[in-house]
Amino acid sequence: MIFTGKRYLDYSSFIRSNFGQRVQKISLDIGFSCPNRDGSKGTGGCTYCNNSTFNPDYCKPSLSVEQQLLKGISQFSKKYNAQQYLAYFQAYTNTYSDFESLKNLYEKALAVPNIIGLVIGTRPDCISEQIIDYLSFLSKKYFISLEFGVESTLNRTLLKVNRCHTYEDTIEAYEQCKNKGFSLGAHLILGLPGESRQELLDHATNISKLPIHTLKLHHLQIVKHSMMAIQYKQYPDNFNLFSSEDYIDFITDFVGLLRPDIIIERFISEAPLNLLIAPKWNGLKNFEFVAKIDKKLIEKDTWQGRFYKT
């Protein structure tokens, strides 16, 4: 167990415990698509999605993997005095190509000086035994993390937001990948349309049954140039967006239901203000928000896993 000094397992403590220093992720956009965009399963992509909301300026598919990484390293080495980095294949679905192309891209990233591993974001319906075996092989020498966009554990929600896969697909993907030597992560969006507070809390119980090591939590944000932005403008009453105070109260209850050994990588989304439509939390920064969560956990005398049941 990692001792963090907090009432939950936080990602920074996990990194320090494993590497003895700060390790910075460098985001990449390699120009891939998704099966719910290119017509193989659907079109339009996820209704909430606009990848520009989390892609840094240096993250451009017109640049090679090496160029993006070197630009990112140049930026972060000055800001954080970081010396080791993880190549984060972030935008869209980063296992959605033929195996040889993927292998070539991953190896190019690992060949860049001071890159000590890969973080690969993908969908649970875009994984294969060949990719899993290869990542298992890489994990013997590098830190490898495979992150699936779970988003919701409710099939009706996945259908509504045009994910074009089921929660059963998610369970199957994790079963394929468990005990292969690499880290498994999950992304979950809290506040998608039509989900009650109890159903949102049930996500903590359900996600705790998956063999995950890390979890990224995102509150629902309505961003420009997404299908959900149009839906929100037409039918605002269909959305029940969190206020910052309500979300802090909710997330401290959520954490209490979560399996105690899951590392929480983040609690909130941070879309650029020029793209954010709602909710607007008066420019509350991530570190300020985390401090409020820490304080609320103490006030409620609760902690990660307090109400977790095996």
pLDDT tens for residues 75-128? 888 877 768 999 999 999 999 999 999 999 999 999 999 999 999 999 999 999
For residues 209-221, one letter each, b for 16 or more C-beta atoms within 10 angstroms of the residue's C-beta and e for the rest, the string is: ebebbbbbbbbbb
Beta bridge partners of 143: 117
Q: Look at residue 122 and give its three-state secondary structure.
A: strand
Percentages helix, strand, coil for the chain (3-state, rounded to 5) are 40, 20, 45
* pTM given for the model: 0.94
Q: For residue 78, what pLDDT is reported?
A: 80
Residues in the chain: 310
C-alpha–C-alpha distance, residues 148 and 36, integer Å: 15
The C-alpha R_g of the chain, in whole angstroms, comes to 19
C-alpha–C-alpha distance, residues 229 and 182, integer Å: 36
C-alpha–C-alpha distance, residues 104 and 12, integer Å: 30
C-alpha–C-alpha distance, residues 214 and 146, integer Å: 10
C-alpha–C-alpha distance, residues 182 and 118, integer Å: 10
Q: Which residue ranges make up each domain of the chain?
A: 11-299
Question: What's the CATH fold of domain 11-299?
Answer: TIM Barrel (3.20.20)
Q: Look at residue 171 and give its three-state secondary structure.
A: helix
The H-assigned helical ranges of the chain are: 11-19, 65-80, 99-110, 129-138, 155-160, 167-177, 197-207, 227-234, 244-257, 286-299
Q: For residue 229, what pLDDT is reported?
A: 97
Mean per-residue pLDDT, 243-257 = 97
How many percent of the chain have pLDDT more than 90?
85
C-alpha–C-alpha distance, residues 204 and 200, integer Å: 7
For residue 154, pLDDT beyond 60: yes
pLDDT in tens, 125-134: 999 999 999 9
> How far, CA to CA in Å, does 24 sit from each of 86, 109, 268, 302?
6, 14, 19, 30
